[in-house]
Chains A and B, each alone.
Chain A
Amino acid sequence: MKQTFFQKLIITLIAWTAAVVIFFPIFWMLLSGFKTEIDAIAAPPLLVFEPTLENYEAAQQRANYMSSAANSVFISVGATLLALAFSIPAAYAMAFFPTRRTRGTLLWMLSTKMLPPVGVLVPVYILYRDLGLLDTRIGLIIIYALMNLPIVVWLLYTFFKDVPKDILEAGRMDGARPRQELFYLLMPLALPGMASTALLSIILCWNEAFWSLNLTTSDASPLTAFIASFSAPEGLFWAKLSAASTMAIAPILIFGWLSQRQLVRGLTFGAVK
């Protein structure tokens, strides 16, 4: 549609207003992290103030924060690696050697993702308690890997399918044996897709806020639980909350911006193209 400059201007105005309004709470949080506690709760709210790094320093020093952050990283990466370990061979097999059952298997896998976690809270909790997995990082890794497995398999499957079949055939005509085909052709071509799948998995693990709240207490609690502890606080804490939150979400925000497209593919199971 050919727009007039004026139309473009109006649209710019409306769109940016929406973007700013929606982004505002995050912006405000970012800002508040640099305020003193007194400034943070000032009413009317302060746009201009003397910035300070004391909150960030305090957060870094708080042992809880560092260990929670470490937990988040360990759990997210661990669960992703575990999920990939199971998913890569499965997706490879289904993409390149499909059988009549492939489609059904994929659909069934996706359907397991639709189980509401709350429905199995009780048995999982009891099971974990009896197995000594409560409040352990391994415990969360296992459950996150299971929850994300369907999405990871699905995404890898679509990325493997995207590799044009005749490139692999050309490789075969050039004399490549299966291992060489995999190493020289498939991996380089599927690597970007695998990377963004891993990224999506990390995001989902990092932000997961059901099992992390219910299955951990102190040792293994990731950042989601740590931040949750700010909900029953004493005294002034807004600025510290903001600083801690900013640090908690910053990496994921960036990852998320990078993997937008995979998000759509992954979370709608390809039902929307």
Chain B
Amino acid sequence: MATSHSATTRRVNTLPLISPAVFVLLVWATVPLAMTLWFSFQRYNLLNPSMTGFAGIDNYKSLLTDSTLWTAMLNTLILVVSVLVITVVLGTLLAVLFDQEFFGRGIARLLIIAPFFMMPTVSALIWKNLMLHPVNGFVASVMRMAGLEAIDWFGNWPMTSVVLIVSWQWVPFALLIFLTAIQSLDQEQKEAARMDGARSFQIFFFIILPHLRRATSVVIMIETIFFLSIFAEIFVTTSGGPGLATTNLAFLIYIRSLLEYDVGSASAGGVIAIVLANIVAIFLVRTIARTLEA
């Protein structure tokens, strides 16, 4: 039809319908943010609620010169990038695999996406104890049966362990997204390629991967935003340790605010986290905006 789909003729005042949601989100988006900003410039100790005055940029100065912050940032970087790489690569490969027809595909799919629906605390504890425990864990037993020595995962490879747990939970997410994207690929494109003489490998590289570019960037952006705040898994397994080995930015803020009661410093850290997330968010919103037009 050549008619444009504009608003219908009924004139309804939409403002009262939308404003509650908008107002509430506006408050949620601005007030805590403003407060964090405010606190980051204050000297404030949670145990001693009487504010002790303007701290200027002292909090930022001390934070940025504190090596703990930089360790935390580095850990955050390692954590985020590692999990991203693992989930995107495995997610893509598994998606291609699950796009094929095979026996019992429905059930296999249910099994493979299950980890994403687990509570982070449950996942973390199951891995820490039942799977990775150096003495009684399943992995340890398997290694011993293979003649190797069991590894003390959380003791000697804490970051690796955390990366493992988080990746395990998020690979299914990536898989689901990529699978959806692959299945939206027009069958006829693949058939045309085959008629042109392309073999499976070439189809993967020249047709499927480019098609997944949008999905990949979306997955990376969304996962990054979530991963900047990874908390529960660390809280429940290593508590940031040993030492600072698994302390990321989120955990550091937690320590500073709720364990050391140094609100000013924690707020400064919070601002940094927000800035980082915003950078990624800008790109993500732009991508979404483009699909809204489509």
Contact = CB atoms under 8 A, between A and B. Distances in A.
A165 B194 CA distance: 39
Nearest to B181: A272
A268 B218 contact: yes
Contact of A238 (B12, B129, B180, B287): B129
A121 interface: yes
Contacts of A126: 35, 39, 46, 263
B120 A115 contact: no
Best-surrounded residue of B127, B145, B222 (most CB of chain A within 10 A):
B222
A2 to B, nearest CB: 10
Q: How large is the interface on B (under 10, 10 to 19, 20 to 34, 35 or more residues)?
A: 35 or more
B181 A120 contact: no
A106 B110 CA distance: 32
A84 B222 CA distance: 23
Interface in B264-294: 266-267, 270-271, 273-274, 276-278, 280-281, 284-285, 287-289, 291-293
B276 to A, nearest CB: 8
B176 A263 contact: yes
Identify whether the interface residues of A are mostly helix, strand, loop, or mixed: helix
Contacts of B115: 22-23, 25-26
Interface string B112-126: 111111111111111
B122 A227 contact: yes
Given A29-B130, A103-B289, A119 B119 contact: no
B190 A1 contact: yes
Contacts of B194: 1
B263 to A, nearest CB: 5
Interface stretch (B60-68, B81-89, B135-143, B155-163): B135-143
Contacts of A96: 8
Contact of A228 (B8, B28, B172, B232): B232
B181 A116 contact: no
B39 A123 contact: yes
A268 B121 contact: no
Given A19-B112, A107-B288, A114-B281, A14 B97 contact: yes
A170 interface: no
Nearest to B90: A18
B108 interface: yes
Contact of B100 (A11, A105, A123): A11
Contacts of A86: 20-21, 24
A119 B120 contact: no
B22 A8 contact: no
Given A8-B103, A15-B105, A228 B236 contact: yes
Contacts of B253: 118, 121-122
Nearest to B16: A89
Contacts of B116: 256
Nearest to A42: B136
B131 A12 contact: no
A112 B29 contact: yes
Interface string A196-225: 000000010011011001100000000111
A82 to B, nearest CB: 10
B200 interface: yes
A165 B5 contact: yes
Contacts of A227: 119, 121-122, 125
B79 interface: no
Interface string B214-233: 11001100100100110110
B103 A230 contact: no
Contacts of A97: 7-8, 10, 12, 14
A258 to B, nearest CB: 10
A178 B14 CA distance: 14
B148 to A, nearest CB: 14
A116 B222 CA distance: 11
Contacts of A249: 117-119, 122
Contacts of A124: 32
Nearest to A237: B129
B205 interface: no
Interface string A224-260: 1101101100000010011001001100110111001
B136 A256 contact: no
A111 B292 CA distance: 14
Nearest to A222: B119
A267 B172 CA distance: 13
A29 B105 CA distance: 23
Given A15-B97, A209-B120, A245-B126, A272 B32 contact: no
Given A12-B103, A97-B8, A272-B214, 12 more contacts: A19-B109, A22-B172, A28-B130, A112-B28, A116-B274, A118-B228, A118-B231, A123-B32, A127-B35, A213-B231, A231-B128, A249-B118
11 contacts: A11-B97, A26-B118, A43-B144, A90-B18, A109-B22, A116-B274, A213-B121, A238-B136, A241-B125, A257-B113, A257-B117
- 8 closest cross-chain pairs (CB), A and B: A123-B35, A256-B117, A209-B232, A120-B32, A93-B14, A119-B274, A114-B281, A93-B17
